[in-house]
Structure 1
């Protein structure tokens, strides 16, 4: 058989915002996660669901850093892509942005099967901040959008089961320390993109696993799934069972019918085929199906309310059309994590392709017809057979490398000596971020940072914490040890480590900031404010002594990023205890370019209000600003506006994703 599937490089040019630098401060505070269930709802949940909701929810982002340095100034920028296609389908993959499928085109008709975002605009939806909408995203780690949303993954050519080529994507997921892979291939003449996924647990103990394939499709559609009930979750943090398709008098399988943003996790019966489809008014669209391991199916809608509309505009360009998300995951809901046993793995196969069926009519009839058409187009047995054919190829070593991810997997493999066939994490991928930890691994000590440089990221897993405990107790080692102890829940010992590090630290601000966070968490706001003020003073002295140290004074330089991150926290801590004068002093020392950013304009309005200058605070709003890193579900803008004016919130600032309490 002649194999005609090809894989090639392509460079896309699109309006794109600048990602900027990651936040240089370790994320010590508990994870701000909106997807949590009220205790009053847990008693009525199925036993296995309740158990998995309570199983190892993520409480910290460490060792991952927050990505909040992006902006909203879109300019034409190039994005590297990998294109896999046959005579039926063309899939465009972005290896530098989490391996996302940005586009899936049915070549005979020219139909785009996904919602393809015409811009790259990060927003604060990922667990660690920067995320963008559109396409098919691979979510691994914990409840929420993956920390790899805007990060590179490894990519290579691999032999496919039919004798052609697969595109393999793989990376090391750092929140749970798990390697994973995604294999994409197009069987010759097939209308369906096949995707083999594997998550491995190389550890000697069980770990929580999480996966949801997130598929953006145009929202003017009807979503079909094999279910008569769903678990509804809104931003009121309530999880309840509701009927499908009509709930509260409205057919919710039409995304525009909902008022507020919501999740509908479909209750697919046991042993029933797993699938979900989105069809336009003419009955054309996309279907996703899988082997049974990928149990869950979900619809996410933005709703027609002003907040949902505003978010859709925020994530793309006006006039480009809205979208909803159809998803598939390991559990029934995204609030759950499943147990992956020691030295075990979980794998499955997904298929994506064009679909045509009747969208209108009685739910039972529409569902039955859609299932019959899916069986004719791609029999359930064929999906199982494709999975069985792929499994022997999952361990095949990659051939030509097409893109490089991070060096964290290589570091962990060196530490533990793991053998991971099919997903090599090679020493050549080690970079600057891994260098001090490689030195700790090989020499037993942390090398000192160059004068004037921040301490860098911390590894917090138990083996690294053990190495830090036996390393020479330099101020830098005490800093990192304290961060690792804090992550482990040993807060008292973390504070002791940071206090020891202060004694001889050439730069005190990293340790003072950690102690300030500890004070806040222990409800000592006055002491926290004192330490924040001292930390910011020390940072400014350090900057004066050693120069900018960044990108020639540019606002995205290292010093500017440090001052912005620490200054923001210091102003907020000082305002919280009524010390507006000292907050103003911090504000005035921030770089002028930093003070013009939307987040800091919002802070300025709060500072002016605290100073009693209400009219000036109102003027900040009237002049307009955009908080690029506004968090999903965050209502801080509305609260401050109400406090300043008492007036209804203007549409441009309305990002509310729930009914007003």
Structure 2
């Protein structure tokens, strides 16, 4: 969703235009889509790590990206963040599952990180003041860059200190993206203040424009609820200005975030007061709970940009989060200069700019200190695999081989033997003893694919086989070599016609179908893939992908037959009910399609994507009547 037209990019300031056009993502590989969640809620326990001082208590979720769930100020009893009372995943992360609330560390590429609902490593390290820090670290797979976040609470201080670092261990320049995303309570009189007079407004109609702060189009946009539609406001903070952003309530109380100057960007995200934004807020939490806005801090001016990090170099900075009390008359006055001067003055009293710089300097020698054993939490094994492959030396963020797991084992074998294992290469190809055809991967779906240039080279040098050619094709497609990818998948199918390679060929045909080339062949290959899948979860995912392709090929009967293969409990899910409505529209039965939306309590599409207007589009193909409120998720003007 966060893209703009090339003509609009060319009109931006030169440095911003370069970074907006620098290495945008074409896919979320090598990570995979996380969509195995619903909306049926039940009590559950979450692993937490708590750091505490005499003034503050911070609660961290190591299994969910290292997010700070809560920041509690003890003297006043105030919660400084928006803390979501539910853990409700929704399709907002780059790779699917994301949830709202707290402070998250967005690294990798434009959007919510692929680590939103993934574990990170955690351990204790010495802090600069003689106490202890909580270190969180992982290997960010989109850009192949390790990062760390060090959290500590100096005794007697009202501020949480955060030392952050991302490194480039490679012999090439890599694109880097970082935004610390802070959810704060949103009320009618909540105001967000920042040292800026202009901001870049980005709406979901995909336009980026420079506008004044705070007033624009007859509204004071520093109050989140005075915007109608969801929008990003990327502030033009002067280079020489102190970097900070604050969210304060009607009493002038709230949270302030400040940092060393490297973290130059500041942003406000609002849901707005329109029906789509309100619906999303309800969707992400539960009825009766207050809304939230997001204040953010990043390496660039906007989130459309990526920044080059040279080989062997690193970006490092320090952030501080704490309570702020300011004069409410000044905070909410009509004089914007006076309002922000009041806040900046209070911040300077509470935490001088020089103290932030000094804390950063004191932290830097500790950033390379290896964490103590045992680890408090363990992340993935992908960092260990990359260290084995690349021989990287990363003091402070160890990725030991004992973290290698089942998903990494085939790739470790490829490194050691030059061959990727093809389970069941001969025995499982063709028809099984009981008649149904089995695939050539040992009867189970293939594991994750690695797509970097280094791993593609390994695959290209390995002996051909159904598994190797399947993974090689994905790596080639990711690199933009679509013709070679198709050839690899065709070799994989020739050795063992698996549903997974067939599905890849179908996706390739569907991609070309956008130009009118192969819509029928895409449909045929999806049907063939569906026939060969026995795994229930894989079958459901494949059918959800196949039905729109069959409808695009004008084959509603095949789409219905495929959807009917699912068990009743799967067909009852919202995504499948939406697909059923689309099939009915294709068959010409608009009344029945409308009934899918209106009968009973209707349905909920668990994995509805941020900005996706498929509900509106399907409804408008049925009737000219306004869409029912429960389906209104539109994030831009109609």
Same fold (TM over 0.5): yes
Separation of aligned partners in 2, 1:102 and 1:321: 16
The answer on 1:360 being equivalent to 2:332 is yes
Separation of aligned partners in 2, 1:416 and 1:170: 18
Q: CA deviation at 1:613?
A: 2.3
The answer on 1:347 being equivalent to 2:347 is no
The answer on 1:499 being equivalent to 2:499 is no
1:252 to 221, 225, 228: 221
The answer on 1:184 being equivalent to 2:175 is no
Structure 1 residue aligned with 2:53: 86
Cα RMSD for the two superposed structures: 0.9
Name the SS of the counterpart of 1:589 in structure 2. Answer: coil
Structure 1 residues 289-300: aligned runs within 5 Å:
289-300=258-269
Q: CA deviation at 1:300?
A: 0.5
Separation of aligned partners in 2, 1:44 and 1:508: 48
Given that 2:422 and 2:466 are in contact with CA atoms closer than 8 Å, whether structure 1 keeps it comes out as no
Separation of aligned partners in 2, 1:213 and 1:258: 23
Deviations 1:279-332 (A, max 9, x none): 000010000000000000000000000000000000001111000000000000
The answer on 1:242 being equivalent to 2:211 is yes
Structure 1 residue aligned with 2:31: 64
Name the SS of the counterpart of 2:51 in structure 1. Answer: strand
Structure 2 residue aligned with 1:651: 629
Q: CA deviation at 1:526?
A: 1.2
Given that 1:560 and 1:591 are in contact with CA atoms closer than 8 Å, whether structure 2 keeps it comes out as no
Name the SS of the counterpart of 2:71 in structure 1. Answer: strand
Q: CA deviation at 1:654?
A: 0.2
Q: CA deviation at 1:95?
A: 0.2
Deviations 1:192-211 (A, max 9, x none): 00000000000000000000
Q: CA deviation at 1:615?
A: 2.0
Deviations 1:70-109 (A, max 9, x none): 1001100000100001010000000000000000000011
Separation of aligned partners in 2, 1:604 and 1:272: 55
Structure 1 residues 533-552: aligned runs within 5 Å:
533-539=527-533, 543=534
The answer on 1:274 being equivalent to 2:243 is yes
Name the SS of the counterpart of 1:500 in structure 2. Answer: helix
The answer on 1:620 being equivalent to 2:596 is yes
Structure 2 residue aligned with 1:418: 392
2:128 to 146, 161, 167: 161
2:76 to 109, 124, 145: 109
Structure 2 residue aligned with 1:452: 443
Name the SS of the counterpart of 2:376 in structure 1. Answer: strand
Q: CA deviation at 1:572?
A: 1.3
Q: CA deviation at 1:508?
A: 2.0
1:532 to 505, 526, 529: 526
Name the SS of the counterpart of 1:645 in structure 2. Answer: coil
2:465 to 474, 499, 502: 474
Structure 1 residue aligned with 2:430: none
Q: CA deviation at 1:38?
A: 2.5
Q: CA deviation at 1:444?
A: 1.1
Name the SS of the counterpart of 2:621 in structure 1. Answer: helix
Given that 1:396 and 1:422 are in contact with CA atoms closer than 8 Å, whether structure 2 keeps it comes out as yes
Separation of aligned partners in 2, 1:310 and 1:39: 32
The answer on 1:511 being equivalent to 2:501 is yes
Structure 2 residue aligned with 1:122: 89
Q: CA deviation at 1:44?
A: 2.6
The size of the alignment, in residue pairs, is: 608
1:398 to 358, 371, 393: 371
Separation of aligned partners in 1, 2:157 and 2:423: 54
Structure 2 residue aligned with 1:12: none
Separation of aligned partners in 1, 2:87 and 2:580: 28
Separation of aligned partners in 2, 1:256 and 1:38: 28
Given that 1:449 and 1:455 are in contact with CA atoms closer than 8 Å, whether structure 2 keeps it comes out as no
Deviations 1:410-440 (A, max 9, x none): 0000111111000000111111110111111
Q: CA deviation at 1:640?
A: 0.5
Name the SS of the counterpart of 2:44 in structure 1. Answer: strand
Given that 1:446 and 1:471 are in contact with CA atoms closer than 8 Å, whether structure 2 keeps it comes out as yes
Deviations 1:215-237 (A, max 9, x none): 00011210000000000000011
Separation of aligned partners in 2, 1:185 and 1:512: 51
Structure 1 residue aligned with 2:572: 596
Range moving further from structure 2, 593-602 or 402-411: 593-602
TM-score under structure 2 length normalisation: 0.94
Given that 1:560 and 1:594 are in contact with CA atoms closer than 8 Å, whether structure 2 keeps it comes out as no
Deviations 1:589-626 (A, max 9, x none): 11222111111110011112212222221111113100
Structure 1: state its 5+ residue gaps. Answer: 1-33, 544-558
The answer on 1:376 being equivalent to 2:345 is no
Separation of aligned partners in 2, 1:518 and 1:291: 46
Separation of aligned partners in 2, 1:533 and 1:617: 24
Separation of aligned partners in 2, 1:637 and 1:87: 50
The answer on 1:316 being equivalent to 2:285 is yes
Structure 2 residue aligned with 1:22: none
Structure 1 residue aligned with 2:510: 520
Given that 2:9 and 2:17 are in contact with CA atoms closer than 8 Å, whether structure 1 keeps it comes out as yes
Q: CA deviation at 1:41?
A: 2.3
Structure 1 residue aligned with 2:427: none
Range moving further from structure 2, 612-621 or 51-60: 612-621
Given that 1:41 and 1:240 are in contact with CA atoms closer than 8 Å, whether structure 2 keeps it comes out as no
Structure 1 residue aligned with 2:9: 42
Structure 2 residue aligned with 1:286: 255
Q: CA deviation at 1:69?
A: 1.2
Structure 1 residues 185-224: aligned runs within 5 Å:
185-220=152-187, 221-224=190-193
Separation of aligned partners in 1, 2:510 and 2:587: 23
Runs of 4+ deviating beyond 3 Å: none
Name the SS of the counterpart of 1:223 in structure 2. Answer: strand
Deviations 1:535-566 (A, max 9, x none): 11122xxx2xxxxxxxxxxxxxxx22111111
Given that 1:61 and 1:128 are in contact with CA atoms closer than 8 Å, whether structure 2 keeps it comes out as yes
Q: CA deviation at 1:489?
A: 0.8
Separation of aligned partners in 2, 1:513 and 1:87: 57
Q: CA deviation at 1:369?
A: 1.3
Q: CA deviation at 1:470?
A: 1.4
The answer on 1:606 being equivalent to 2:575 is no
Deviations 1:388-429 (A, max 9, x none): 000000000101310000000000001111110000001111
Given that 1:580 and 1:611 are in contact with CA atoms closer than 8 Å, whether structure 2 keeps it comes out as yes
Separation of aligned partners in 1, 2:389 and 2:568: 44
Structure 2: state its 5+ residue gaps. Answer: 425-441
Structure 1 residue aligned with 2:413: 439
Separation of aligned partners in 1, 2:458 and 2:308: 28
Name the SS of the counterpart of 1:277 in structure 2. Answer: strand
Separation of aligned partners in 2, 1:435 and 1:231: 46
Q: CA deviation at 1:43?
A: 3.1
The answer on 1:583 being equivalent to 2:559 is yes
Structure 2 residue aligned with 1:26: none
Separation of aligned partners in 2, 1:588 and 1:44: 51
TM-score under structure 1 length normalisation: 0.91
